[in-house]
Amino acid sequence: MAQFSFAFPKPGTKKLLVGATLGAALAIPALLAGLLVFLVPMVNKPLLDAFIREKLGHVPATWVGTQWVYAAALFLAGIAMFTFAAITGGIFSWYERRVAARIQSRIGPNRVGVAGFLQWIADAVKLLFKEDLVPGEADAMLFRAAPYFVVAGMTLVLVALPAGQAIVVADLDVGIFYILAVTSFIVVGILLSGWSSNSKWSLFGAIRATAQVVSYEVPAGLAILVPVLMAGTLSTQGLIRAQGGWPWEWFFFRNPAAAVAFFILFISQLAEGNRTPFDLAEAESELVAGYFSEYSGFRFALYFLVEWANLWIIGAVATTLFLGGWQIPGVSAQTWASVRGAGSFPAFGWWALQFVSLGIFAVKTLFLVNVVIWIRWTLPRIRIDQMMNLCWKYLVPAGFAAMLFTLVWQMVATWAPIVEKITALVVFAATVWVTWRFLQQTRKNVSLIAHERVDLSNW
Amino acid sequence: MSKLVLRRLDRNNEEMLINFGPQHPSTHGVLNFLVETDGEVMRRAIPDIGYLHRSLEKIGEMVQYPGYMPYTDRIDYLAAMFANEGYAIAVERLLKIEVPKRAQYLRAISCELNRITSHLVSIGTMATDIGAVTPLVYALRERELLNDLLEALCGARLTYNYHRIGGVAFDMPEGWRDKVLAYLDRLDSSIQEWDRLISTNEIYRKRLGGVAVISRAQAIDYGLSGPNLRGSGVDWDLRRDVPYGAYPDFSFEVPVGCGWAGVVGDCYDRYYVRVLEMAQSSRIIRQALEKMPDGELTAKVSRKPKPEAGEVQSRIESARGELAYYLVSDGTERPYRLRARTGSFMAMGIIEDISPGLMVADLVALIASLDVVAPETDR
Amino acid sequence: MGASAETVLFWIFAVPLIASAAGVVAARNPVHAAMSLVSAFFWLAGIYVLLTAHLLAFVQVIVYAGAIMVLFLFVVMLLSLTDAELGLEKLSALKWVGVVGAAGMLVLVVSALAQSGPRAMRAVGADFGTVRAVGRILFTQYLLPFEATSVLLLVAIVGAVVVAKEKI
Amino acid sequence: MPSGQDIAALLPFLLLVLGALVLMLSEVFLRSGGRGYQSGLTIAFAAAAALAVPFAPQQVLFGGQAVSDGFAGFVTMVVCAGLALSALLGRGWLETRNMERGEYYALALFGASGMVLLGMATDLLLAFIAIEVMSLAVYSLAAYPRRGQRPPEAAFKYFILGSFASAILLYGSALYYGATGSTLLSAMRGGGGALLAAGLSLILVGLAFKVAAVPFHAWTPDVYEGAPTPATAFMAAGVKAAAFAFLTRGVLAMVAGTPFAVGNELGGVLGLLAVLTMVVGNLFALPQRNVKRMLAYSSIAQAGYLLVGVIAASRPESRAQGTSAVLVYLAAYAVTVIGAFSVLAVMEKREPTPDAGSADAWDVSRFAGLASRRPWLAFAMAIFMLSLAGVPPTAGFVAKLSVFQAAAGAKAWGLVVVGVLTSIMGVYYYLRVVVAMYMQPAEMEEPAAAPPTVAIAIAVAALLVVVVGFSPEPLTAWARAALLRM
């Protein structure tokens, strides 16, 4: 990539900015990880009790209104998750622009901070200061309310979405189903924003988005059923606990149908998140900006916050269901228990392992986030009838087939567990080989561009 | 919107009427389409032109013959060389001037380079209109390099004003020939990269293949020309069939649509004809650079030419189809009448009749595949 | 959590539920009415959660708020009725009949409930409302209605397509 | 878990659903060529379902949610017969209008499956689902010809009011569940209380709508008139049979289990409903010159007579007599009304489409002088009219006689008197058609020839009506044998 230059009036400014960037780049992830690891597990009541008892030296039962303390802890954990979503969303916005620029042989944002790292803060501030316009003739109340539905749908998902062994706000019995359900807030928000804008393009986009999301919920639901059948639970943590740390213990490899289901889910999530090649709802070249054409300022920022925070959700859901979640290779449930120690408040090693599990989860998720970004900047958009065809004629039948196959497969696996082990290894080996071939082909394609890269800056 | 267009709408409430433009990301300039849709399917799209009308033909009657040359740049700012050349040839015919060989070669080179830049924009925006953003950037990257070359040749990146009555303005700068040859090498591999990236992309082929098919007969009836005509399978190219300038000296092929991704005459054919034409342009430029004769840059032309009364027409193969100038002289130093027949204007005419039954997303593909440029439509 | 927090939560869910239910009836704009219904569904889901019927709560959200109401809104928005088409607010005789009928219904239900009085509630099992428990009961005790529902949905789809088709 | 026996008992229902699926798939895979096979397939599946009835084990199914007994078997037979006859009618009617498609028969089969299930249901939840399967199919059938305004309008009216009735039924079921802790009809045993009474009355309202009892009948004339004639015939025969089957079960369960009995609270309501329905149905039918509308009001009136049978069945002393009377009436009415609608289908104005502005499409004057032009058709129509009026020797007479006998057995003399008087009133408007056919000169153009399948349907229906009229014993014996298990 071409080098980028800074031209600041005073040398001190540059140093300051570099420092700020580095500080932010280190501090923000550390802050997020700390928030997640220390605050979120505290929602667990025994853990919080133990913390108050052993670290603060109080007996919670003697307090006035103990349950409000628990409620406050819950609230704090919720705030932590929202902060996490907002900050990752912001960083993803910068990251996607940099990746897009790299793909397009551009430089991308590079003015605010080193490599433009603080660009997302600048953008957020700019958008907050812009006028919050409501078009005349728009249904002002619904127009104002619509973005909150969208944000609520995204935030509520995070409640049941794990990020580590004990890092989940609420390990619901209906976990993954809850995630599917609260996502429907987003549809309502989109529909409202499109209609209340009183613009034909907005309505067009909203209707496309709704048709798309409602349709793709079906294959997504079917694909989710495959790991659910394999784990025998809907709880997100239960799903992860049913998998293992090594790749061949992941659901993705344990069952050929699960691999298919992974791709069905991934495609459906792209569609539900309105990402290319399914970005029909905000198709710039057709619908201007789709359902949020008329939005500006703060509310516009909310849509984009959701769009990028959604990246994390796409990756995290797929990781949870198919890629072993936070499971650390070689660390079993017994290890977790022994590291935790006998005391009611866990020992240091347990907290350290939480960090590791968070790291593993984040790496897998971020890999999928990268894939989503690559796809977005590579593929054209499909047409609405093609999108519907793909959903109803291919993904839904394939989802059914995968589900039925899994039912049979579970019986076989119970009858002869060795079959599952062998399959896992075979599928894993096949995946490695396919990845290797893909990389080779990519190398070849790159080398086919015979001419040397031209320096754009001075030619 | 103009009353004229409104009068043509017989509306019933089942359909939604949308103004597709004049401010719209994929109208390629200031165009408007009145789109009647029934859900995603269009009943029809009525083009509403004139937003970029600048009286260029009338201006032609006000200025002297050489003074009009910079105005021709504005007829089609993406392919200004052709507008230059067409006007120059028309006036030369009026004055009965023979253009020197070297100037003819330089005209061919500049025009073919311009054809490549124009087609790069066309296919790049086409990919963007279909939803892939990256290919546009690749196309523009290649075009920037080419613009550098054209800037070195004539001092401008967009409105070249390079051709003169009787020849061209400047000779090749030193070292320019090698830079062009180096660029053409790069272009050939870029086209391959382009094919891998987008032309063979399954989604792209599905989006364009079989969409908005213009049959051979329709294309001829509606007066389509250039790549749009050849996309419909008509083997017609003025450079070969009604040769002018230096073109008889070069050997090249004329790509014709043959249903690469579906039916002959669909959007993909029109798109891919352009991709192939870039390679042919490269071939022509190589030959021209190789055979470049020495000689004068311009013929002897007076500063204030006063042609005899009469009328002429010139036809050239522009990037957007046949560009024809019709000039009437009354013996003074200003034209009595100047008229430009442009490819985009003719292409706009077919949209209303092809659009019924297409989806809204297909309209975007149709407009992009016809490579309509607003200034050329309105002039 | 103790009883008091639960009570507070109950009121947090119940009051807006009634308010949005009233909004459905009172709203003149059909989109506003539909949105009130959506919000009523969400509050109702909250009450289900309070009753430890988690699965039911989220089924409620995904099916009603997520799918049915979205399609409903879809249609209402596409119709885009103007004020003129919606008609003026008039209390015609038929409306009075409706009011009287609704009042009668209210009296009937309230008096019936009042007469039957508070009854001892059975304590629910630990797995009450869990996916496992609901699934077990659906596939044993309610197997026949459950499977018959699939026929019902199929009929609904076929019927909708037949009715909506432009020509036979 | 369901046993093989449970599945075997459900076989009629399953066969009808299978038939619907086969017909839908046939439309996908056998699109080319004629569609004559579709009505044939429908009849085959109806016949198979009917044939499965005698083999169904007589037992309580699925933990008491449904029951397979003689009563349900009889209702299944009636529904299947109605389905087969209306499929024959549908074939001719749809083909001449070039709108024959697999969906029509699939929907009819689905509707029949709902009716069969409703006949077996002893659980409010299952009954609700069955009612919805039946109703949704019938709504769509009513809207099936999308030409003109009338069918969609009729279907829409039916749909809105029907959904409202379903909602009331559901609300009643919820109160019922609140009172008893179960949706099973048997859960009423020992129950009582105001909540149960409220629930039951709401359920009754819902069911009264489905059987078109006054004052919940308002939809009937418009829907019967607007729906395509074969669909109307199927609707009149099948929906009535299934809804009455469940109503009978419900009333019997209530009488057995609760202090509410006929004669005091709800029975009085039922009696009032019966009287109103008989009187109002017949009174409104009197001035109708539109034969289709007249038949609609007639079907309301018939619901009144059936209610009399249900009331009789609710009394312990006339239980067996009452239930068998209801069954006989349902069978007789189904055959007769399909026959009548078949003749009407032949006679109705074909072009332009039956729509607003062509109210005379079914005017009685179209029948004028039919006897001289189409003596057999006129003869069949006369038989059906006489049967509807309850004139011997027809099935209608047998049905009315058994209902009134049962009511007399229950000592419900008031109902008997009202029933007989209104029947006599009914003779007037039924005979108007006969008079027009036999005693008035022809005014209209030559009526079109009956398509062969419709002719078969008319012939079979007429034959059945006459045979039952002359020797009612097999039918009544069968109905008596069809025991109702609680």
- Please report the pLDDT score of residue A235 as a whole number: 87
Give the residue, B101 or A67, on which the prediction is more confident.
Answer: B101
Of A100, A380, A385, the CB nearest to B359: A385
Give the residue, D186 or D132, on which the prediction is more confident.
Answer: D132
| Contact yes or no for C55 and A177 at CB 8 A | yes
- Please report the pLDDT score of residue C91 as a whole number: 56
Residue D402, pLDDT > 50, answer yes
Query: Which pLDDT tens digit goes with each residue over A285-315?
Result: 667 677 787 888 888 888 888 888 888 888 9
C3-86+93-129 CATH, one of 3.90.1170.50, 3.90.226.10, 3.40.50.1950, 1.20.120.1200: 1.20.120.1200
- Please report the pLDDT score of residue A401 as a whole number: 92
State how far the Cα of D273 lies from the Cα of B303, in Å rounded to an integer: 108
Residue with tokens 């392919």: B79
Q: Is A456 on the interface with B (CB under 8 A)?
A: yes
SS3 state of residue B293: coil
Query: Which pLDDT tens digit goes with each residue over D70-91?
Result: 888 999 999 999 999 989 888 8
Tokens in use for B283? 């071939």
Lowest-pLDDT range of A48-57, A202-211, D141-150, D261-270: D261-270
Q: Which domain holds residue D328?
A: 4-484
- Please report the pLDDT score of residue A458 as a whole number: 31
- Please tell me the pTM assigned to this model: 0.81
Residue with tokens 């829409």: D156
Give the residue, A264 or D367, on which the prediction is more confident.
Answer: A264
Sheet holding B310-318, edge to edge: B310-318, B321-329, B335-341
Q: Name the residue in chain C with its Cα closest to that of A204.
A: C78
230-249 in chain D: CB under 8 A from chain C: none
State how far the Cα of C62 lies from the Cα of C41, in Å rounded to an integer: 10
ipTM above 0.90, yes or no: no
- Please report the pLDDT score of residue B117 as a whole number: 92
C91: closest CA of chain D, how far (Å):
21
Q: Is D108 on the interface with C (CB under 8 A)?
A: no
Mean pLDDT of chain B: 85
Query: Which pLDDT tens digit goes with each residue over B126-170?
Result: 888 888 888 888 888 888 888 988 998 888 888 888 888 888 888
Q: Considering chain B, what percentage of its residues have pLDDT values greater than 90?
A: 5
Residue B2, pLDDT > 80, answer no
Query: Which pLDDT tens digit goes with each residue over D406-418?
Result: 888 888 888 888 8
Residue B27, pLDDT > 80, answer no
* Nearest partner of B234 among B247, B221, B244, judged by Cα: B221
Residue with tokens 């209109």: B129
A/C Cβ contact: 3+ pairs below 8 Å: yes
Instruction: Give mean pLDDT, residues D3-11.
Output: 84
- Please report the pLDDT score of residue A301 as a whole number: 86
30-59 in chain C: CB under 8 A from chain A: 31-32, 35, 38, 54-55, 58-59
Q: Considering chain C, what percentage of its residues have pLDDT values greater than 90?
A: 8
Q: What residue segments make up the domains of chain C, in order of their start?
A: 3-86+93-129, 130-168
| Contact yes or no for B201 and A380 at CB 8 A | yes
Tokens in use for A59? 């007996």
Residue D403 to residues B113, D303, D411, D412: CA-CA distances in angstroms?
98, 12, 12, 11
Give the residue, A117 or A10, on which the prediction is more confident.
Answer: A117
Q: How many domains does chain D have?
A: 1
Instruction: Give mean pLDDT, residues B288-312.
Output: 84
| Contact yes or no for A449 and B130 at CB 8 A | no
What does the angle CA A165 – CA A170 – CA A172 come to, to the nearest 5 degrees? 100
Residue D109, pLDDT > 60, answer yes
Instruction: Give mean pLDDT, residues B192-211.
Output: 85
Contact D479, D328 (CB under 8 A): yes
- Please report the pLDDT score of residue D32 as a whole number: 61
State how far the Cα of B61 lies from the Cα of C168, in Å rounded to an integer: 62
Of D107, D117, D123, the CB nearest to C159: D107
D103 interaction partners in chain C (CB closer than 8 Å): 158, 161-162
pLDDT band at D242 (very low <50, low <70, confident <90, very high): very high
Residue D162, pLDDT > 60, answer yes
- Please report the pLDDT score of residue A261 as a whole number: 92
Query: Which pLDDT tens digit goes with each residue over A352-376?
Result: 888 888 888 889 999 999 999 888 8
Q: What sign has the CA pseudo-torsion D67, D73, D76, D80?
A: positive
Of C5, C55, C65, the CB nearest to A184: C65
Give the residue, B36 or B6, on which the prediction is more confident.
Answer: B36
A103 interaction partners in chain B (CB closer than 8 Å): 134
Bridge partners, residue B335, by sequence? B329
Tokens in use for D180? 């008893």
- Please report the pLDDT score of residue C69 as a whole number: 79
- Please report the pLDDT score of residue A223 as a whole number: 92
pLDDT band at B251 (very low <50, low <70, confident <90, very high): confident
- Please report the pLDDT score of residue D265 as a whole number: 46
- Please report the pLDDT score of residue D356 as a whole number: 47
- Please report the pLDDT score of residue D267 as a whole number: 56
Residue A332, pLDDT > 90, answer no
How many Cβ atoms are within 10 Å of B202's Cβ, its own excluded?
11
Name the CA dihedral angle for A113, A118, A119, A122, rounded to a multiple of 10 degrees.
-110
Residue C18, pLDDT > 60, answer yes
SS3 state of residue B325: strand
| Radius of gyration for chain A, computed over Cα atoms and rounded to the nearest angstrom | 24
Q: Considering chain A, what percentage of its residues have pLDDT values greater than 70?
A: 92
| Contact yes or no for A188 and C70 at CB 8 A | yes
Residue D157 to residues A331, C94, D57, D152, D386: CA-CA distances in angstroms?
65, 16, 40, 8, 31
What does the angle CA D379 – CA D380 – CA D383 come to, to the nearest 5 degrees? 90
Lowest-pLDDT range of A394-408, D148-162, D375-389: D148-162
Query: Which pLDDT tens digit goes with each residue over C106-130?
Result: 887 788 777 766 666 667 777 777 7
Q: Is C23 on the interface with A (CB under 8 A)?
A: no
Non-local (6+) Cβ contacts of C90 within 8 A are none
Chains that touch D (3 or more CB pairs under 8 A): C
How many Cβ atoms are within 10 Å of D115's Cβ, its own excluded?
35
State how far the Cα of D135 lies from the Cα of A357, in Å rounded to an integer: 55
Q: Is D197 on the interface with C (CB under 8 A)?
A: yes
Q: Is C142 on the interface with A (CB under 8 A)?
A: no
Of A277, A380, A451, the CB nearest to B189: A451
State how far the Cα of D177 lies from the Cα of D200, in Å rounded to an integer: 11
CA A1 to chain centre: 28
Contact B60, B338 (CB under 8 A): yes
Tokens in use for A120? 């997302």
- Please report the pLDDT score of residue A459 as a whole number: 30
State how far the Cα of A135 lies from the Cα of A451, in Å rounded to an integer: 51
- Please report the pLDDT score of residue B353 as a whole number: 86
| Contact yes or no for A181 and C73 at CB 8 A | no
C97 interaction partners in chain D (CB closer than 8 Å): none
Q: Name the residue in chain B with its Cα closest to that of A202.
A: B18
pLDDT band at B373 (very low <50, low <70, confident <90, very high): confident
Residue A251, pLDDT > 70, answer yes
Q: Is D215 on the interface with C (CB under 8 A)?
A: no
State how far the Cα of B19 lies from the Cα of B21, in Å rounded to an integer: 6
Between A and C, how many residue pairs show a Cβ–Cβ distance under 8 A?
80
- Please report the pLDDT score of residue B1 as a whole number: 44
Helix axes B360-370, B101-129, angle to 10 degrees: 170
Q: Is C157 on the interface with D (CB under 8 A)?
A: no
Query: Which pLDDT tens digit goes with each residue over D111-125?
Result: 999 999 999 998 899
Mean pLDDT of chain D: 85
| Contact yes or no for A103 and B127 at CB 8 A | no
Residue B6, pLDDT > 60, answer no
For chain A, helix (H) and strand (E) counts, in that order, are 18, 0
In the Cβ-directed half-sphere of B5, how many Cα atoms lie within 13 Å? Answer: 17
Residue A6, pLDDT > 50, answer no
State how far the Cα of A239 lies from the Cα of A252, in Å rounded to an integer: 12
Q: Considering chain B, what percentage of its residues have pLDDT values greater than 70?
A: 96
* Nearest partner of D109 among D142, D78, D84, D143, judged by Cα: D84
C66: closest CA of chain A, how far (Å):
5
